[in-house]
Amino acid sequence: MEEIVRLLGEQSLRFEVKTYDTSGDRDKITPISKIEGGDFFTDTIEKALLNGKIDVAIHSAKDLPDVIDEGLVVCALTKSIDPYDVLISKRNLKLDELPYGAKIGTSSLRRKEQLKKFRCDLQIVDIRGNIEERLGKLDRSDLDGIVIAAVGLIRLGLEHRITQRIPLEILKPHPLQGALAVEVREDDIEMIDLFSELDTRER
């Protein structure tokens, strides 16, 4: 929310921030490949928005479900602050420097397929959790590295952990990676007007 408030600048209002655990926060077992396109990472937030418990929902844009709930509208998609996927490795080795058969943790099917295409010898394993949890798993396990979105590290002030921004020709990111989505009730004209200037979509 702080990022959105900064983007609003002088037009910003005073917001009370509420946080919600979504199904994606609670379920650390189900592979991402099985729930992509659904509301796994937005469900409880959207429910709170529909019920009037909150007036604005801020999501990672790539976590938006393919179908938005009736009564809600995405009124703005912000510009990505960093679209890259990054490698964090224990020995500060880049992707092409990792030893044969190195074990890499990541979540999305997209990343797994592209990494295997670049280096078929890599062992790609599922890893779930928030940024801090994934970093902890890397530090405490036999993983050689993890691949995650750069933007999560930047927003948490952990950019120093990045070993390599993976070139786009090796790992093409999700088209909305690094962007935020602002979701409101479709009849809330005041909020729609407030956030519309942040929308980067072509009209």
- Side-by-side strand order, sheet with 72-77: 57-60, 180-185, 72-77
The rounded distance, in Å, linking the Cα atoms of 153 and 160 is 8
How would CATH label the architecture of 2-79+179-198?
A: 3-Layer(aba) Sandwich (3.40)
Q: Is pLDDT larger for residue 1 or for residue 97? A: 97
Of the chain, the percentage scoring pLDDT greater than 70 comes to: 95
Fold: same for 2-79+179-198 and 85-165: yes
DSSP H helices, 16-172, are 23-26, 43-50, 109-118, 131-140, 150-155
pLDDT of 119 reads: 96
197 confidence band (pLDDT: 50, 70, 90): confident
pLDDT of 111 reads: 92
Q: What mean pLDDT value characterizes the chain?
A: 90
Mean pLDDT (whole number) for 4-10: 74
Strands 123-126 and 103-106: parallel
Domain ranges of the chain: 2-79+179-198, 85-165
Read off the pTM: 0.83
pLDDT of 11 reads: 58
pLDDT of 59 reads: 93
Is-contact 99 144, C-beta < 8 A? yes
DSSP sequence for 79-118: PPS---EEEEETT---GGGSPTT-EEEE--HHHHHHHHHH
CA 113, 115, 117, 119 dihedral sign is: negative
Mean pLDDT (whole number) for 113-131: 94
Of 7-11, 18-22, 46-50, 119-123, which gets the smallest average pLDDT? 7-11
Of 6-10, 135-139, 148-152, which gets the smallest average pLDDT? 6-10
24 confidence band (pLDDT: 50, 70, 90): confident
Structure tokens at 93: 């080795």
How would CATH label the architecture of 85-165?
A: 3-Layer(aba) Sandwich (3.40)
Mean pLDDT (whole number) for 175-184: 94
Asked whether residue 36 carries a pLDDT value surpassing 80, the answer given is no
Of 26-40, 59-73, 81-95, 165-179, which gets the smallest average pLDDT? 26-40
